[in-house]
Amino acid sequence: MKRLAMELGGNAVFIIFESASVSLAVQGLMASKFRNTGQTCVTANRILVQRKLFDQVVEALAAAMDRELKVGPGSDPTNTQGPLINQRQLLKVDSLVRDALGKGAKAIRGGRKHPTGDLFYEPTLLVDVTTDMQVFREEIFGPVAALVPFDTEEEALRVSNDCDRGLAGYFYTSDLRQAWRVGRSLQVGLLGINDPLISTCEAPFGGVKMSGFGKEGSKHGLDEFTNIKLLSFGSLD
């Protein structure tokens, strides 16, 4: 029988608690959400913001998107947001946004295909999103940030773990006790605590639930393809 590791889909949660620095959290969210135009398996997807900070985060995120995101071909080094991988994916992203808008969400930024070309989509910021909308339940894999408010840590954990995938997660806090509590409780294989860039070749990479099993990277990734052999010696006399 062959040894194998499986890395499947993700639907990463990104939580901003009320003790967090808004500027650092938004900086981290920009890096995690819009890297590679939102097309990585560890991209922030389900974005939860504690209600006390919600309006501040929306305002700061919209300003950062205006300031930092420029859509266009990658041949121009000033562009930061390129095309989606194919037409099928663009239609999926647009369908998720249309579904959310039709159910009451509001687009603060973007919300439609970009005029640059057939595979480009506007960087989008959605509010008035609910946890039962497709844009929250499904992996977007595109430049769409859908923000949902929450009131308590327990609520954030319940919503975060109510997902059949568990590859990556992120949260921002300045409370060390909360960092350990939430870090132990989130059902993910990779977790960034005040850190938006969590995967390196030196660290194990892999998820739980339907995000797969096994690890890539580090010695743990090598162990997945190694058979352990026991040599049990008796007396040599």
Lateral strand order in the sheet of 12-16: 106-109, 124-127, 144-150, 44-50, 12-16, 168-172, 190-193
Q: Give every CB contact of residue 159 below 8 A, 6+ residues apart in sequence.
A: 13, 46, 48, 131, 148, 150
Cβ count within 10 A of residue 90: 20
Which residue in 104, 23, 95 sits closest to 59, CA to CA?
23
Query: Within 13 A of 29's CA, how many CA atoms are on the CB side?
Result: 32
Q: Known catalytic residue: 41?
A: yes
Extract the tokens encoding 8. Answer: 């499947």
- Which residue is catalytic, options 7, 68, 138, 155? 7
Which residue in 18, 41, 59, 163 is the catalytic one? 41
- Name the residues annotated as catalytic: 7, 41
